Chains A and B, each alone.
Chain A
C-alpha cells in the first residue's frame, strides 16, 4: 500500500473509535490480499466507515447527517490526546480546540402557537442545516479547521472546532457569526400569524392585540464557547485513575463551561429582548399582555430618566 493511501485512510479514521479502526484494518488487509486497486480500497473503506458511523449519527429527519453526543465526546477525547502529543507544544496549541454549545430559543413558542410539532421540527432542521453547511461553518472550514456538528438534545447542539491555529482571535466572531446567521434566516413560512387558529392561541395567552397579522417570527440560538486551555486549567488530576479518566474529566469541564456560557448568553438575550422587543420576549416566554405592557412602560420610563439626566 502506498504511503499516500495510508495517509488518506488515516485522515478519515482520525478521532474515530478504536473498534471502527480495527474493523477498517481487517477489511483493508482483506482487499489488499484480493488485489484491489488503491482507489477501490479507498472507496470500500469510505463506505465501511460510513456504515460504522451510523452508530454515531442521528437519523431523525430534522437532524439528519449530524453526529450524536457520543461521537462528539469521542472526538473530543482524541483531539485532546493529539494536542498533548504535539511537539513542541506551543501556546497556540492549547487554544487550537474549541467547543461550542448551542441552544435554540423559542422552540416552545413555535410548537404551541402552531399547534403542530412538525413546525418546531422544521425549525430544528433549519438550525441543523445552518450549523452543518452554513456560511459560518464554511468560513471556518476554509481556514483549514475541522468542524463537527452534533445534536445533543431536543434543541441543543454542539460544535467542535479543531485545527492548528490559536482560535482565541476568532472567539467572539465565531459566536456572533453563528448567532446572526440563524437570526437572519427567513423562517416566516413556518408560522402564519393570519391563521385563525394561531390568532386564537395568541388570544389565550393574551398576545393577540400585540401581534399583527403580518408578524414574522424569527428563530435564534444561545451560544457558549470554551477552549481546551480553560478546561485543562480547571481540571485537577488524579493519578490513581489513569490518563484516560483524566482526559474524560477535562472533556467534562470543556462541555460544562461551554454550556454554562450558553445559559448565560440565553439570560443576557432574554434581558435584551425584554428591553428592546417585549413582544418577542413575551412570545418566547408565553407571557401575558400585562407583562408586555409593563415591559413597555419600563422602557418608556427608562428613556424618560435618560432624557431627564441628559437635561441636567
Chain B
C-alpha cells in the first residue's frame, strides 16, 4: 500500500464570523476569577 493513495479530509465546523465575534466579546466581558493562574 502506498500512502500517496490516502488522502484524509476532515470536515470542520465553520461558525459565522458574527457568532464568533459576539462570543469573543462576551468572553472578554466576563471578570477573571480568583484563581487567575491557568490550570
Contacts and interface: CB of A to CB of B under 8 A. Distances in A.
Interface of A: 17-19, 73-74, 77-78, 83-85, 89, 91, 94, 168, 171-172, 175-176, 179-180, 183-184, 223-227, 229-230, 232-235, 237, 239, 241-248, 250, 261, 265, 268-269, 272-273, 276-277, 280
Interface of B: 1, 3-10, 12-15, 17, 19-21, 23-24, 26-28, 30-39
Contact of B20 (A73, A168, A233, A243): A233
A89 B3 CA distance: 39
A127 B2 CA distance: 19
Contact of A244 (B3, B10, B23, B36): B36
Contact of B34 (A242, A272, A273): A242
A244 B1 contact: no
Contacts of B12: 168, 171, 225-227, 230
B8 to A, nearest CB: 5
A230 B3 contact: no
Contacts of B34: 242
B3 A229 contact: no
B14 to A, nearest CB: 8
Contact of A229 (B9, B15, B33): B15
B24 A244 contact: no
